[in-house]
Structure 1
Amino acid sequence: MVTDPIWLDNGVLRLGFLPVLGGRLLSLRHEGVEVLWRNPRLLDDQLRPVGGHRFAPNSGELGDWVNYGGDKTWPAPQGWSGAHEWPGPPDPVLDSGPYTATTGPDRITLTSGDDPRTGLRLTRRFTLRGNGYRLDLTAANTGGSPVRWALWNVTQLPGGSVHIGLADRPEPRVIDLVPAAHRVEHDVLGDRAVVPRQHTVGKLGFPSSAGWVTHVGPRRLLTQRFTVDRAAEYPDGGSPLEVWLESPLPQPIAALGNLNPPDEIVECEVLGPLTTLAPGARTTLTIEVTVTRPAGSTPSRPARPRTRPR
């Protein structure tokens, strides 16, 4: 099994992947500055294991999840009440199982194994574009029976604020989904919502998402844009976008499978519509991602010469 990282670099952005750990984007560096949250207790800056950690598919309850960080794709809805819900993470196939990788100039495609639990095979294709990239997601039904799922892309980022574009739609524009510690503070300011930096554990859903979200991190802004189908059904109360916050707590959260947050983490989560897939059918979701410096800041280093994937 290949355990070496794969890097995609255009001189402005440098993307790092480790397919042995699934389809994750584990490093996103803009002009040398890391944008994503990655677990430093498990992986170093070169995506090598730390302290003798060994890579292996992971299963169990939420508190058993080996959270490497980065950006990954799962099926939604999440839950534990039956076969119509995905009971992860952890998950030994779609989350932590090895993915195959193919690369080309400015592009990498990562493909999961066939998951007997959901009937799905996931594909993630990244295409570099200047100071951003296009992420094309596909979920294909490889089983023998119809299944109903939505694509769910989860980007883990360090503590910061989140700005969410809102469409002019009836209430509720924002809903509480997982108030595990206390309610997640937020403000609705006309055509946008703002989730300030805060120490808590919980999740908000945005049924009136206008199709964009920006994470304002310590040194960079990451914006994701996506299409919202107003005629479609979305998971979690009709939420095409969700924001999850977590911070270290005195003890694990029993109500969330003994989840024990390792750091202050923000998750910007983009969802596709719930889709019934006949055997062989597929559903797709495209996300356009850009990374910028805050207004008034200066480049961290000169852009490096362009290199091919390796």
Structure 2
Amino acid sequence: MQVEFNGHAYLFTNPRFRGKYISPDEAKGGWINYGGDKIWPMPEGSEDENHWVIQSTAIDDLPYSFETLSKGKECMVRLTGQPDTITGMRIVRTVTLGAESPEIHFHALMENATAHPITWSIQSVSQYDLSDPAKPGDFNHNFWAYTPRNPASSFPDGMHVRYGLAHDPSFSFDGDLFRLHWTWFGNEVWLDSNAGWVAIVDKSSRYGMVETFHVKRDAEYPGKTSVIFYQNGPTVSFDEKGIPSIAGADSSKDAYYMEAEINSPMVTLQPGETYAFDTAWHPISIDAQPEEFSAPGLVVERLKATVDAGKLHLKGNFSVFAPGKLMAVFFNRNGIISGQHELEDVDPAKMVMLDTTVPIDPGLARVSLKLIDSEGKDRGSLSIAKVEAR
């Protein structure tokens, strides 16, 4: 599977298996990583039958039936998997694209295909390509991932390094924003983020992807974790004498990718029952760390509204999820709308670098920057600013 936006390809596709199919019988219990996007069970592990050992099975390595449900203004397809004898689940996935934006919506349905209760979480896995197109054989040195830290996290420092170095320099926080700066070293970090979004930013290509999902705050999650980032690469190993070495450190034989993994809550299903997990992808143009998430897009630089020479100066940087128009909505000191001003056309394929002046209304106290999409729908406020004197 591959996803392209404005000519930019996002996902890793494994060159070893491109154009090939390895059946579960041929895989013999191994895992064939084709790349792309996946739906997996959680928790993962080999402790007991309530954990899933990663391998090629019916879940992602047997044929799915394919149906086209709608065409035209809204395109919708459904993929129906086969019952998996190991987990007892069947996956049915509906993918929807609309004409008004490049957003992609996923509806993943987990069905109990057995005659007994089962308990699982389902996980959305996106494998992002980290190779450097300008330097064959090298990795992208300017690739970042972000998600907010849970202020009431169950983990020390808001994260848990499940695999790899606990002091890996690729992990950091900027306030309550977790940051991963991809480096070629194997690790996996778990977070119990409750914000419902993950942002992927390739500062070299100036393209990014925002994955959104709903977090149920009173629900049980696998390992208390809603978001996982996995980096492939070499790892530290020890020989029989306890001498450490770096295993797998031959970049010529490796591929570069990062997994962004989104977990659903743990769910117990009776025979025939189903559970749905909804996620969405929002491809955008972006080249910097986001400051905030909003319904219509990411805020890279918060809106500033200053009065200068009798006019209102509006400034800020944004990445929008849908094409449309930016509208400045003005509020007076009593919180009542006093006017509005259409600013400019915007599109997800182009970063919004707002820097303009508009006439000022008497008594103006604050400004809300709204996105009105191509169908005239109000997508919500990108950013809100109090009016200040310069």
Do these two structures clear the TM 0.5 threshold for a shared fold by scoring above it? yes
State how 1:127-142 maps to structure 2 within 5 Å: 127-129=96-98, 130-142=101-113
**Distance in 2 separating the partners of 1:171 and 1:276:** 23
Q: Retained in 1: the 8 A contact 2:234–2:248?
A: no
Distance 1:181 1:100, change over 3 A: farther
Higher-Rg member (1/2): 2
1:262, CA displacement in angstroms? 3.5
Residue 79 of structure 1: SS of its match in structure 2?
A: coil
Q: 1:93 aligns with which of 43, 58, 71?
A: 58
Structure 1 partner of 2:126: 155
Structure 2 partner of 1:226: 213
Worse-superposed segment, 96-105 or 291-300:
291-300
Give the number of aligned pairs.
258
Structure 2 partner of 1:121: 90
Structure 1 partner of 2:266: 274
1:226, CA displacement in angstroms? 0.6
Residue 52 of structure 2: SS of its match in structure 1?
A: coil
**Distance in 1 separating the partners of 2:161 and 2:107:** 28
Residue 196 of structure 2: SS of its match in structure 1?
A: strand
Aligned amino acid, residue 119 of structure 2 = R
Superposition RMSD on alpha carbons, in Å?
2.8
Compute the TM-score of the two structures, normalised by the length of structure 2: 0.61
Q: Which has the higher contact order (CA 8 A, sep 6+)?
A: 1
1:231, CA displacement in angstroms? 0.5
Worse-superposed segment, 262-271 or 176-185:
176-185
1:158, CA displacement in angstroms? 1.8
1:216, CA displacement in angstroms? 1.3
Distance 1:184 1:235, change over 3 A: farther
Q: Retained in 1: the 8 A contact 2:188–2:228?
A: yes
Residue 72 of structure 1: SS of its match in structure 2?
A: strand
Structure 1 partner of 2:233: 247
Structure 2: 5+ residue stretches without partners: 131-142, 238-246, 288-316, 320-347, 351-390
What per-residue deviation string (whole Å, max 9, x for no partner) do you get for residues 176-195 of structure 1?
Answer: 11227974631122231001
Distance 1:171 1:184, change over 3 A: farther
Q: Retained in 1: the 8 A contact 2:96–2:104?
A: yes
**Distance in 2 separating the partners of 1:269 and 1:153:** 6
Structure 1 partner of 2:23: 56
Q: Retained in 1: the 8 A contact 2:94–2:108?
A: yes
**Distance in 1 separating the partners of 2:255 and 2:67:** 32
Q: Are residues 1:107 and 2:76 paired?
A: yes
Q: 1:166 aligns with which of 142, 146, 149?
A: 149
1:56, CA displacement in angstroms? 2.5
1:199, CA displacement in angstroms? 1.3
Identity of aligned residues (%): 24
**Distance in 2 separating the partners of 1:154 and 1:37:** 12
Distance 1:133 1:197, change over 3 A: same
Q: Are residues 1:207 and 2:192 paired?
A: yes
Distance 1:75 1:163, change over 3 A: same
**Distance in 2 separating the partners of 1:40 and 1:151:** 27
Compute the TM-score of the two structures, normalised by the length of structure 1: 0.76
1:259, CA displacement in angstroms? 9.3
**Distance in 2 separating the partners of 1:41 and 1:170:** 40
**More strand as a share of residues:** 2
Q: Retained in 2: the 8 A contact 1:199–1:247?
A: yes
Distance 1:249 1:196, change over 3 A: same
**Distance in 2 separating the partners of 1:193 and 1:281:** 36
What per-residue deviation string (whole Å, max 9, x for no partner) do you get for residues 156-190 of structure 1?
Answer: 00222101123322452211112279746311222
Residue 203 of structure 1: SS of its match in structure 2?
A: strand
1:153, CA displacement in angstroms? 0.9
**Distance in 1 separating the partners of 2:144 and 2:227:** 15
Q: Retained in 2: the 8 A contact 1:184–1:202?
A: no
Q: Are residues 1:283 and 2:275 paired?
A: yes
Q: Retained in 1: the 8 A contact 2:126–2:259?
A: yes
Structure 1: 5+ residue stretches without partners: 1-25, 44-48, 252-257, 301-310
Structure 1 partner of 2:11: 36
